[in-house]
A and B are shown apart, each in its own frame.
Chain A
Amino acid sequence: MSGRAIIIFIAGLIVISGVVFHNIEASSTLITQNYYKYYVRQEAQDIAQTGAGMALRQIGNDINWRTGFPLMNLLSGKVQVTVSDSTFFGRKVIKIVSIGYQQYGTTLERRDTCITYQRRSFIPSFVIASVTTNNPVAANGSMTIDGRDHDSTGATIIAGQGTWGVWSTKAWSQSGAAVVGGTAAGLDFLPTNPANPLIIKQNQPFAGGYPGTPDSVMGAIGIGYPEGTLKAIAQSGINGSRYTTNPATLTMPLKGVTYIELPSAGVWTPAALSGSGILVIHNSTKNAILSNPGAGKFSGIVISDDIIHLHDSIVGAVVSLTPAPSAGNVIGNGTGAVLYSKIAIKRATEVAVMPTNGSQNAVAWRE
């Protein structure tokens, strides 16, 4: 082979090698790109989830927060979060849409969306007044029933936001030094004796029938409380919830959903109620009795089949289910008080989440 041929041959090999090197580099680049795209996708997803988590935290601090986050830097990318009231298959929810961006504004931009539906706190549709009953009801002694809207401590009035003092399907009576206040048509009425008739709703018809179970008081299936929900929440232990058939085992303060299921005509006489959440005293025959709870303070909703002589302070609302109370119509004859409080009721509903969907109190996540 001549020297010229060798040079041509080698030159050919160099060209071929160059092409092969180029292919190797291209393959390496593709491998790196494949890895990088995977990484960027994951990053965008992480950013979106973090945005949703931040929004949940904000709502945890302020249940009325709906501001969202404008497009802003987060981690190694950007996030944009919108928050709105919505419904999720009949459940009232707060919808959080979080979009995570990686490589924002470049040809490599990758977005990922995380949608979460957070249970929205609400006033149950059958919590109509400060005291709602399906039976004749009376207040004696120096009991206070106040349907004006109170803050979570019961100390401060939020003007014009309250409801009636008493709502009943049967008759109302008031004696002794018992006082009743409330709000009607946006006007607040101080607790007085006798109460202003505008804030007493007695002998009221109830379209569709008065609710017969705690879950129906909450709004039943239409709002995410099919029968058995409150009991299931209590049994799950979520947010400090408890379920018992022996209330002597309970310790105060109560939290979450406390569900006490008593035998027929069973009576629970706690020394004093304290804590917060939703307190249920119920059985299938609708004659479980909360009797003479004394000198405590409970914040939230009390739903009991039958209530005899409430001496506690309840900041929130009280609902009685029975049409035939076991000891007459006197709901309180001492120093007890029922102070209507929207915020206390809302906070109680906030913690009453379905355990099976309880991730950060979320009803569902879509990602």
Chain B
Amino acid sequence: MVIGGLLIIMMLNLNLNISESAATQTFNNITQQNLTTVSDIVENDFRKMGYHIFDSVKVTYTDTSEIKFQTDLYSDSTIHVVRYYFNPTAVSGQENTNTHVLYRQIDNTTSMPMNLGLTKFRLRYYDGAGNLLTGNSTATLAKIRAIKVAMSIESVSAWNKKYSGAYWERTIKPKNLF
């Protein structure tokens, strides 16, 4: 009888643990998929930066959490201004209060929010020699050849009071900037 009870307790404990692992894995999966979704959108747009722009200034505004650039986004001869901006203080409305919203705006249309659990979104700009560039003077903007994008993402809900997280960083060198 005692042995049976101990066995049941052990089985219950095991079941609890694997259930927790399963939930954690599911959250990890969702978080990672959110990350690749955001990175795919960002990469897809950033690689088109400067396409069909013959001015030397193709990136028109830079900041660590915001960028504006020109491109013929849809290859239809129409030049668009693409803007990405991230407000690290504005709330996302998610259960995870660490998360914030990344916005993608085309020209002056309504911004498209990407509310997928981003906790950090940071941009850095480099010239052809790999020197970090700051500021928005025309001369500086014309020198931009590479943009380092770094983002952290967390699950929008907690499991067992824990958030799963993932980090992505990439230096994108849009060929039309060269």
Contact = CB atoms under 8 A, between A and B. Distances in A.
B52 A364 contact: yes
A20 B15 contact: yes
7 contacts: A27-B25, A30-B29, A89-B77, A354-B54, A355-B56, A356-B54, A358-B178
A17 B178 CA distance: 56
Contacts of B25: 23-24, 27-28, 31
B50 to A, nearest CB: 8
A362 B52 CA distance: 12
Interface string B151-178: 0000000000000000000000011101
A173 interface: no
B15 A24 contact: no
Nearest to B33: A34
Interface in A20-54: 20-21, 23-24, 27-28, 30-31, 34-35, 37-38, 41
A320 B14 CA distance: 91
Given A89-B77, A356-B58, 20 more contacts: A6-B4, A6-B7, A6-B8, A13-B15, A20-B15, A20-B18, A20-B19, A27-B22, A27-B25, A34-B33, A35-B32, A38-B40, A116-B175, A356-B55, A356-B56, A357-B54, A364-B176, A365-B174, A365-B176, A366-B75
A3 B5 CA distance: 11
Secondary structure class of chain B's binding surface, majority of residues: helix
B11 A10 contact: yes
A206 B145 CA distance: 44
Interface of B: 1, 4, 7-8, 11-12, 14-15, 18-19, 21-22, 25-26, 28-29, 32-33, 36, 40, 47-48, 51-52, 54-56, 58, 75, 77, 142, 174-176, 178
A34 B36 contact: yes
B29 A365 contact: no
Contact of B47 (A37, A359, A367): A367
A16 B18 CA distance: 10
Contacts of B22: 20-21, 23-24, 27
Nearest to B77: A89
A367 B28 CA distance: 30
Interface string A342-367: 00000000000011111100101111
A21 B18 contact: yes
A1 interface: yes
A24 B18 contact: yes
A186 to B, nearest CB: 38
B175 A362 contact: yes
Contacts of B142: 356
B178 A10 contact: no
Interface centre among A10, A28, A37, A356 (most CB of B within 10 A): A356
Contacts of B18: 17, 20-21, 24
Contacts of A367: 47-48, 175
Given A3-B4, A354-B54, A366-B48, A34 B12 contact: no
Contacts of A355: 56
A6 B7 CA distance: 9
A172 to B, nearest CB: 39
Contacts of A364: 51-52, 176
Interface centre among A89, A358, A365 (most CB of B within 10 A): A365
Contacts of A41: 40
Nearest to B168: A38
Contacts of A30: 29, 33
Contacts of A31: 25, 28-29, 32
A9 interface: yes
